[in-house]
Copies of this chain bind each other. A is one copy, B any other.
Amino acid sequence: MLEYASAGESHGAALYALVTGLPAGLVIDRDALDALLRRRQGGYGRSSRQSIERDRAELLSGVRRGRTTGNPIAIRVRNRAGGAMPPVTRPRPGHADLAGVLKFGHEADARDVLERSSARETAVRTAAGALAALFLRAFGIEVFGHVVRLGPVRFRAGPLDARVRDASPFHSLDPSADRRAKGAVDAAARAGDTLGGIVEVVATGVPPGLGSNVQPARRLDARLAAALMAIPAMKGVEIGDGFAAAGRRGSSVHDAIRRGRNGKLVRPSNRAGGLEGGMTNGEPVVARAAMACRVLTASASRAISCLCLACRLE
């Protein structure tokens, strides 16, 4: 069973995460790890803070000679901009500030709340997710994230080509829409504003039967929904056709089961997003998450952690 917890504030010296449950012998691909953290920091229109930082995940334990030992892995991602910060006495809308001040009794300074609720925490979550992605890769499962919407701009879907996505400043698969997206971001920035967006995560190579229908809490769709909604600023999650399915007839939301030429079962469509009855059905798992306020393009990377942390073997 994989377990994950993190600690650290956005202006402290570093963020820490602790991952327990990775098996021994997994080769740690540092390049892949660093690439994911880099992708989290990329993206057009990031705040200056993001562009200055260059995060690096230090694996403080549980790894020896480039392989996991089976022991818990402590991860550190240092913060650049530390030091004393002025108190925050005016809770900001759209943040944890007000709720947190009321919950914890931090009347004089909301900083104790907001520094923990900052999206900065996702740096170390991304690192943990990268470890999870390496684990999934050992089973032939690849997780691919890309941005499908940015404010008013919808990006068309395309083949899951990492080069196309990584060449796009918006991490989209639709270069033709990038110019419009640039315009939308610039216009929002000029107005001192930000944009929301939607990220899609696709896991391919997933065997059938992960997750379980036997108890509500064991369903993989429920766990994925929790993992995605737990990313700061996410306000919606859908699987497969998601909300669009609600407007259709039943005959248009299911995926027929046919027997192919080789005798294998094939499914001509994947409206269910690879999940039926709370279990993977062998088709790619497709999930989307909607973020209010600003698409951190990294959400795709971060979401990688979701599948693995959510689908702990039973």
Residue A222 interfacial (CB < 8 Å): yes
Contact B214 A20 (CB under 8 A): yes
Residue numbers in B under 8 Å from A276 (CB-CB): 93-99
Question: In residues 207-244 of chain A, which contact B (Cβ within 8 Å)?
Answer: 208-209, 212-219, 221-232, 234-243
A280 to chain B: closest residue by CB: B99
Determine the distance from Cα of A218 to Cα of B314 in the docked complex, in whole angstroms: 15
With both chains docked as a complex, state the minimum distance between the C-beta of A291 and any C-beta of chain B, in angstroms.
6
Contact A70 B112 (CB under 8 A): yes
Contact A20 B99 (CB under 8 A): no
Residue A39 interfacial (CB < 8 Å): no
With both chains docked as a complex, state the minimum distance between the C-beta of A241 and any C-beta of chain B, in angstroms.
6
Residue A64 interfacial (CB < 8 Å): yes
Residue numbers in B under 8 Å from A195 (CB-CB): 248-250
Question: In residues 58-105 of chain A, which contact B (Cβ within 8 Å)?
Answer: 60-62, 64, 69-74, 91-100, 102-105
A16 to chain B: closest residue by CB: B74
Residue A32 interfacial (CB < 8 Å): no
Residue numbers in B under 8 Å from A196 (CB-CB): 245-250, 253
User: Which of B74, B225, B292 is in CB contact (< 8 Å) with A8?
Assistant: B74
Most buried by B among A92, A113, A116, A248: A116
Interface size on A, residues (CB 8 A): 123
Question: In residues 172-230 of chain A, which contact B (Cβ within 8 Å)?
Answer: 188, 191, 193-198, 208-209, 212-219, 221-230
A67 to chain B: closest residue by CB: B112
Contact B14 A98 (CB under 8 A): no
Determine the distance from Cα of A238 to Cα of B288 in the docked complex, in whole angstroms: 11
Question: In residues 1-36 of chain A, which contact B (Cβ within 8 Å)?
Answer: 1, 3-9, 12-14, 16, 18, 20-21, 23-25
Residue numbers in B under 8 Å from A208 (CB-CB): 98-99, 102-103
Determine the distance from Cα of A74 to Cα of B213 in the docked complex, in whole angstroms: 16
11 pairs, CB–CB < 8 Å, chain A vs chain B: A5-B18, A5-B217, A7-B74, A93-B276, A98-B281, A100-B277, A116-B213, A149-B247, A196-B248, A242-B290, A250-B293
Across the A-B interface, the 10 shortest Cβ-Cβ residue pairs: A96-B277, A103-B209, A94-B254, A236-B238, A194-B250, A226-B226, A7-B74, A222-B230, A7-B72, A225-B229
